[in-house]
A = this chain, B = another copy of it.
Amino acid sequence: MILHDYLPSGNGYKIRLLLSLLGQSYQLKSYDIVKGESRTAEFLALNPNGKIPVLEFDDGRCLAESNAVLFYLAQGTPFWPQDVWQQAQVIKWMSFEQYSHEPNIASPRFWLTHAGVTAERQAQLADKQQQGYAALAVMEQHLSQHDYFVANTLTIADIALYAYTHVAEEGGFDLQKFPAVLAWLERVAQVNNYVSINDDSARVS
Contact = CB atoms under 8 A, between A and B. Distances in A.
Contacts of A48: 138, 141-142
Chain A's interface: helix, strand, loop or mixed, by majority? helix
Nearest to A70: B91
B85 A72 contact: yes
A46 B61 CA distance: 40
Contact of A98 (B98, B135, B142): B98
A94 B153 CA distance: 25
Contacts of A92: 63-65, 68
A120 interface: yes
A138 B142 CA distance: 36
A100 interface: yes
A20 interface: no
Given A120-B123, A123-B120, A88 B68 contact: yes
A124 interface: yes
Nearest to A142: B48
Interface string A130-166: 0000010010011000000000000000000000000
A92 to B, nearest CB: 4
Contact of A75 (B69, B84, B95, B124): B84
Given A49-B138, A71-B87, A88-B68, A99 B102 contact: yes
Interface string A53-73: 000000001011111110110
A96 interface: yes
Contacts of A88: 63, 68-69, 71-72
